[in-house]
């Protein structure tokens, strides 16, 4: 891809693969919009909007919010002038109907060139990462596997208290992985057939994944 042209990306992969972390870095580096459907829903939950009240129960069960709701949110996000330089869709599409609705939406919005980055991570690593994940209210994400950070402790970036996400509890994680295998994994084939898939190994360090991502996308 040419980094000076509009950058249109979809980040695809299981929960805990590092999509959000890499999306934030890339979005800052290139001034492109990061659209995380999980973040949009968590914001609605914390503001107790109508969407939030519906989504909360579904998210805590590790299930998926209905396609038509999600497509509406993404349509709104992509129609914003903030996507002029480009965007990264993080956590969408998660079902085949969402992928096909997105294809229609791209057509309507005149988006022709895009890439789907697949973050590959095996199930044991997913369970380990999610079980150790801590977040703060600003969305900064850390691992407590080094033993330095713990729930209730201060976020190293902003000082707000760190917590475990409700849906990162072991029981919900198992359900999220099951839902991923059933509903989301087939989306990979959808994009592979269209020749837009770029697969990267997401098991290495944040810096190594970033380097690999830039190399594969921009050849740099």
* Contacting residues toward ligand AMP, per CB under 6 A: 15, 37-38, 41, 58-59, 62-65, 70, 91-92, 94, 98, 167, 176
Residue of minimal CB distance from ligand AMP? 38
DSSP string, 54-88: HHHHHHHTT-PPPHHHHHHHHHHHHTSGGGSSEEE
Active-site option among 33, 42, 129, 176: 176
Active-site option among 33, 42, 94, 129: 94
Q: Whose Cβ is closer to ligand AMP: residue 68's or residue 148's?
A: 68
Query: Is 215 an active-site residue?
Result: no
Query: Is 56 an active-site residue?
Result: no
Q: Whose Cβ is closer to ligand AMP: residue 37's or residue 83's?
A: 37
Which of these, 99, 110, 76, 95, lies nearest to 8 by C-alpha position?
A: 110
Q: Whose Cβ is closer to ligand AMP: residue 63's or residue 120's?
A: 63
Query: Is 133 an active-site residue?
Result: yes
**In the complex, least distance from residue 5 CB atom to ligand AMP, rounded to whole angstroms:** 26
Query: Is 216 an active-site residue?
Result: no
Residues serving a catalytic function are 19, 94, 133, 165, 176
């Amino acid at each position: 891809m040419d980094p000076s042209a509009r950058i249109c990306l979809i980040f695809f992969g299981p929960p805990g693969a590092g999509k959000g972390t890499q999306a934030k870095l890339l979005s800052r580096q290139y001034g492109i919009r990061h659209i995380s459907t999980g973040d949009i829903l968590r914001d609605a939950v914390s503001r107790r909007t109508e969407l939030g009240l519906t989504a909360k129960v579904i998210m805590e069960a590790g299930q998926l919010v209905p396609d038509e709701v999600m497509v509406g949110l993404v349509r709104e996000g992509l129609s914003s002038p903030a996507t002029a330089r480009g965007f990264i869709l993080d956590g969408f599409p998660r079902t085949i109907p969402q992928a096909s609705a997105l294809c229609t939406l791209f057509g309507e919005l005149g988006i022709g060139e895009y890439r789907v980055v697949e973050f590959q991570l095996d199930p044991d690593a997913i369970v380990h990462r999610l079980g150790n994940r801590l977040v703060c209210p600003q969305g900064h994400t850390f691992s407590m596997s080094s033993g330095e950070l713990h729930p209730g402790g201060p976020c190293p970036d902003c000082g707000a208290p760190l917590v475990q996400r409700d849906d990162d509890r072991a029981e919900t994680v198992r359900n999220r992985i099951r839902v991923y295998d059933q509903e989301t994994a087939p989306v990979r084939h959808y994009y592979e057939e269209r020749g837009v898939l770029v697969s990267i190994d997401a098991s290495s360090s944040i810096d190594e994944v970033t380097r690999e991502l830039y190399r594969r996308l921009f050849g740099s």
